Amino acid sequence: MIRVAVAGCAGRMGSAVVDAVTAAEDMEIVCGIDPHASGKADAFPVFATVTEALDAVEADVLVDFTQPAVVAANLAVALPRGVDCVVGTTGLATATLEELAASAADGTCLFYAPNFTTGAVLMMEFARAAAPYFPEAEVIEFHHCNKKDAPSGTAVRTAQMIAEARSPRVSAAPGRETEMPGAEGARGALVDGVPVHAVRSMGYVASQEVIFGSLGQTLTIRHDSWDRTSYMPGVLLGIRSVGEREGLIVGLETFMD
């Protein structure tokens, strides 16, 4: 049995992770971590901090779906103790991930996925394949109004993949010079030269469009997640896979071979 600790266990994503792990035959929840729900769960203990949790129980994997402001501190505790980490909290810079991975005990894995849905991973891979053939690309992401970061980690990663696929040609967003005074940013935030637009509204869970354009044609690639259960097969795949890896691994596609 894989012993799993869930940080952010009382949140929307954390609760879905708890349900998915509980239903899996090859893993078990040994504890939760949530400062707003410590001691409240019936099936397992809940601690206020990762330090308290790992002092009290033995865990093989820490799954983190907390907040961008606290995730790095959680990982800084777990990784040196040899606890593999599966991270779905976005907002971490690549340099921060690399620094955290360098602090890990030998044989320990830090796995970070901007998105855990197989459809979103395929959307990004299709965008990578299309990028060299279209001079223009835009990313539009749609999320619920309570999302803590903008743009989303998926959108940032998609833009980076588009830019990488075009290299050595540099991505250049047309039309920045047309932005009206006082409305700078109307053409979106530039991520490696690719405009990224973030929509926040009730009614969405997570959706994204990648729009490519060239002379006389457009190509639109879209993925929609309507329920958080869509992330759970990817989360379970990450939990099952990190024990055989070490160091920093980014992207669910690494485990989808």
What's the predicted TM-score (pTM) here? 0.82
pLDDT by residue for the chain (257 residues), tens only, comes to 999 999 999 988 999 999 999 999 999 999 999 988 765 557 899 999 999 999 999 999 999 999 888 999 999 999 999 999 999 988 788 899 999 999 999 999 999 998 899 999 999 999 999 999 999 999 999 999 998 889 998 999 999 999 999 999 888 888 888 999 999 999 999 999 999 999 999 999 999 999 999 999 999 999 999 988 999 999 999 999 999 999 999 999 999 87
How far apart CA 211 and CA 194 sit, in angstroms, is: 11
Residue 10: which residues within 8 A CB-CB, separation 6 or more? 32, 34, 36, 37, 40, 46
Residues marked as catalytic: 143, 147
How far apart CA 115 and CA 104 sit, in angstroms, is: 23
Beta-bridge partner residues of 3:
28
